[in-house]
Structure 1
Amino acid sequence: MSAVLLLVVGLGAMGLGYLVYSKFIAEKVFRLTADFQTPAHEFEDGVDFVPTNRYVLWGHHFTSVAGAAPIVGPAIAVIWGWLPAFLWVVLGTIFFAGIHDAGAVWASVRNRARSVGALTGEVVGARARSIFMIVIFLLLLMVNAVFAVVIAGLMMDFPSAVVPVWGAIVVALIIGQLIYRRIIGLGLVSLLGVLALYALIGIGPSVPVQMPAEVGFMPGNAIWILILFGYAAIASLLPVWMLLQPRDYINGLQLFIGLIILYGAIAVLNPEIVAPGINSNVPAGTPSLFPLLFVTIACGAISGFHGLVASGTTSKQLNSEKDVRFVGYFGAVGEGMLALGAILAATAGFASLGDWQAMYDAFGQGGVNAFVEGGAFIIHNGIGIPEATAATLLTVMAALFAGTTMDTGLRLQRYIFQEWGEIYDLAWMKKPAVATLLAVGSCLILAFGAGADGSGGLIIWPLFGTTNQLLAGLTLLVVSVMLVRKGRPVGYTLVPLVFLVIVTVLALLAQLRSFYEAGNYFLLGLDIVVLIASVLVAMECAAALKRLRGEAQAAK
């Protein structure tokens, strides 16, 4: 199979999805209008509520939801073959992720920019809200703790990426001032920012920064984790225009340039995909494709974390309700494009089937390493960029996306604590500094609770895929309830919702069995808690849907 053919089919399908399907959803289902006053204008405070140019906001939304997950998930899932991963990414982006992300933004904007968890209380009921917010908090805890480990590991393994990763923050601070104070136009700001970022990537290999393996009584990667959380705490308290928006925007541009380089190299080299379409010779211990494929690839097809970003930070910055389609749906398309690039790098970036099999000798192998090594191989052989430089480029791309997700994730966790303060009338918890300390403290307890290396978050990471996909299903439930209340077509959200609930519950049950057989009773208990909580919220939402349909019929 030619990688170019797969690239053209994938990009063409996603492009049609945005041009045709998202237009239909925006006009006939959500019925977006420019006349509605968005919360960014109604509650503008210059910190969290800031009306934002849709291109800048798209950059924030896209890079916040992308992280490393649309690279890691697809680059692991190709162990079952490239065809299932390709189909789930493309079809999931068009019919699942796009309407999920846009729907979450729309629902939040129509309800004073409340998070999807708090919104559940207004749309469904107080019991559902309480349970839902616990699931959300658990998911954010996983994301923040684990992404800190991922970034720290990348900086330990690739010292050439340290200067570009941290230098990008300085670039973002400068860009934020230039955009917010309108010193120069967005086009020139974008050009200067991209040039500065790529200059840092070029400098990186010449000035590698290697953290010692041990610093006192702590491993080097643990020091990086502490530094990252210190930075994220400060970033979560800064006005969004100062760091979050420009950092995400410039990273979004950097991603598209990186994808253009990767896609261009594929077009020139036209490599063959060496991995099988359907892998019938998977390594021992690999779980079945169904239902695990649909939770292994979350970001890049559909992800509940997107709903948290959409209803947490994105909805507070939306300038016009009409921007929901571009920011929400096209943000999902951007992530699908990244997932497609990860699939191609991880299946066509190897010289032979034997080399590919050596990388994928056990389930869970591949991931970022397969993306970086395979992508660097394609870029070097396609357009002649030195392999080390190409590897640095792709590593920085992965690290910057993980960093922007962590920035947004910690801010979202701060919002959760503040919303709990509002719900339970705890004035002290509503204070941003206190809520941030609680957010960071909970992450550090998880990270360092199991040892001094800070990798404690990895203990509960096996539950991320199922928890994340259940959250996506529950978000679609909330959006569906809103659509029924407004008398809008609901099938476009209910079909992906039913599919997600079925495959995710089956995956949770499969995990229950594997945790029990492995004697991992901690994860077994946590899995049961997540399953019960999700079923209870689903029952509450189903009851709300039934009640609303009954009211609608009685009114006829």
Structure 2
Amino acid sequence: ILGIALIIAMLALGIMFPVYATKTTWIYVVFVYIFFASVTPMWLLKTPRDYLTTFLFIGMIVAAVIGVFVSNPTITTPAFAGFKSASGSYIFPTLFVTIACGAVSGFHSLVSSETSSKLVENEKDMLQVGYGSMLLESLLAILVIVIVGALPNLKASGVLDSTLANMALADTATPFTKFSAGVTGLVAQLGLPQSWGLCIMTMFVSALALTSLDAVARISRMSFQEFFEVEEGQEPSGLVKVLTNKYVSTITSLVCGYLLSLGGYVNIWPLFGSANQLLAAMVLISLAVFLKVTGRKGFMLYIPMVLMFIVTMTALVQAIYGIVMKLFVTGGFVLMVDGLQLVVAILLVALGLMIGFNSGSKLVKEK
């Protein structure tokens, strides 16, 4: 109760006395936060913060549902705009590496094993947590399609004021901006000032993004440490002890994330989507092998496993081709942006082929 009251008080304080800073400053603030979220015990920071964020998440969904039903917006966006987007991307494989979390997500498999497992008191509760989360994400996905699809009509009908509409429909607007502005316009029909609504909705969406950031910071640190694990009973060398130190491994992971952040949202998203879905394919392959060697049936995993592998490999090869074309043909190659992405994409392809070959050979064996 105290936490929720403080959240409301901070929102009010932020609306009355807003703090303006550059994008670079906010990046530094976020990285400092996720450093502490990665190294502190789960119970001290991440667990209570995630718990309080749940109320923001539910509040955002409730506000969006009420807004949609009260305003009853008309979707004017065409249901199908062709197999090729204005930016030149084809619906395959782009669609399948963009629509992630609610369908299949490798990142969620890491979250469930590395963090969710430490937050659940009773293993039986995982059924409710997992299934409930899936239903909520599906509901949120439908709300996003309705709200973003109705944005042009919301502007034409005057539901969104001109400032909000121009911001939401600008070419530079991110999906977060479009969704926040759309929900704000719908909820404003209930009498809430749009400037207040935009601040609150943006805070809701930002809080959700932070739950992903602090989770991925912690998971990347733990994954980095696992690279240098030694056999049980062996004494790790001095270098291994340094590299597996939680502060050193966290800083190393965050430096890699910071370098990728310099590339900007638009450049990073296709690579992130491909990496996420490739990880999902790897998880499905690993589970299929586990079920096979333990004498259980796993045939239901084979089709999604192969499909995700083909999709992500196609997307990564396309990304590599596009960067190579920049380097040798069209120009515009930036070393710290395109060069870094090229290295990551090649490593991901190599990783996928290695795991696919090793695990696939086990699946075709009789025993």
TM-score above 0.5: yes
Is the contact made by 2:167 and 2:173 (CA closer than 8 Å) also made in structure 1?
A: no
Q: Deviations over 1:86-117 (max 9, x none)?
A: xxxxxxxxxxxxxxxxxxxxxxxxxxxxxxxx
1:280 to 1:410, Cα distance in 2 relative to 1, 3 A: closer
Question: Aligned runs of 1:391-402 on 2, under 5 Å?
Answer: 391-402=198-209
How far is the alpha carbon of 1:366 from its aligned partner? Answer: 4.4
CA distance in 2, matches of 1:302, 1:439: 27
Aligned residues: 345
SS of 1:331's partner is helix
CA distance in 1, matches of 2:96, 2:77: 20
- The corresponding residue for 1:263 is 65
Is the contact made by 1:481 and 1:544 (CA closer than 8 Å) also made in structure 2?
A: yes
- The structure with higher relative contact order (CA 8 Å, sep 6+) is 1
The partner residue of 2:227 within 409, 420, 423 is 420
- The corresponding residue for 2:359 is 541
Is the contact made by 2:39 and 2:218 (CA closer than 8 Å) also made in structure 1?
A: yes
Question: Aligned runs of 1:31-430 on 2, under 5 Å?
Answer: 191-211=1-21, 220-280=22-82, 284-351=86-153, 366-381=174-189, 383-423=190-230, 425-426=236-237, 429=240
Residue type at the aligned position of 2:8: Y
- The corresponding residue for 2:285 is 477
CA distance in 2, matches of 1:400, 1:432: 31
1:448 to 1:535, Cα distance in 2 relative to 1, 3 A: closer
Is the contact made by 1:304 and 1:470 (CA closer than 8 Å) also made in structure 2?
A: yes
CA distance in 1, matches of 2:280, 2:72: 36
How far is the alpha carbon of 1:392 from its aligned partner? Answer: 1.2
CA distance in 2, matches of 1:422, 1:413: 15
How far is the alpha carbon of 1:475 from its aligned partner? Answer: 0.8
1:359 to 1:289, Cα distance in 2 relative to 1, 3 A: farther
Is the contact made by 2:97 and 2:270 (CA closer than 8 Å) also made in structure 1?
A: no
- The corresponding residue for 2:304 is 496
Unaligned runs of 5+ in 2: 158-164, 328-332
1:431 to 1:254, Cα distance in 2 relative to 1, 3 A: farther
1:341 to 1:427, Cα distance in 2 relative to 1, 3 A: farther
Q: Deviations over 1:182-213 (max 9, x none)?
A: xxxxxxxxx443343233223321111123xx
Is the contact made by 2:278 and 2:352 (CA closer than 8 Å) also made in structure 1?
A: yes
SS of 2:153's partner is coil
Is the contact made by 2:84 and 2:90 (CA closer than 8 Å) also made in structure 1?
A: no
How far is the alpha carbon of 1:502 from its aligned partner? Answer: 2.1
CA distance in 2, matches of 1:261, 1:309: 27
1:457 to 1:423, Cα distance in 2 relative to 1, 3 A: farther
Q: Deviations over 1:259-299 (max 9, x none)?
A: 01110111111111121111249763331112211111222
How far is the alpha carbon of 1:461 from its aligned partner? Answer: 4.7
* Aligned-residue identity in percent: 29
SS of 1:350's partner is helix
How far is the alpha carbon of 1:422 from its aligned partner? Answer: 2.1
Unaligned runs of 5+ in 1: 1-190, 212-219, 552-556
Residue type at the aligned position of 1:374: G
- The corresponding residue for 1:528 is 346
Residue type at the aligned position of 2:187: I
CA distance in 2, matches of 1:431, 1:407: 23
- The corresponding residue for 1:437 is 248
CA distance in 2, matches of 1:227, 1:284: 35
1:283 to 1:321, Cα distance in 2 relative to 1, 3 A: closer
CA distance in 2, matches of 1:445, 1:532: 19
TM-score by length of 2: 0.82
Residue type at the aligned position of 1:466: S
How far is the alpha carbon of 1:493 from its aligned partner? Answer: 2.6
Pick which of 192-201 and 256-265 moved more: 192-201
Q: Deviations over 1:123-156 (max 9, x none)?
A: xxxxxxxxxxxxxxxxxxxxxxxxxxxxxxxxxx
Is the contact made by 1:480 and 1:493 (CA closer than 8 Å) also made in structure 2?
A: yes
Is the contact made by 1:446 and 1:456 (CA closer than 8 Å) also made in structure 2?
A: no
Residue type at the aligned position of 2:285: L
How far is the alpha carbon of 1:426 from its aligned partner? Answer: 4.6
CA distance in 2, matches of 1:338, 1:402: 14
1:411 to 1:457, Cα distance in 2 relative to 1, 3 A: farther
1:526 to 1:231, Cα distance in 2 relative to 1, 3 A: closer
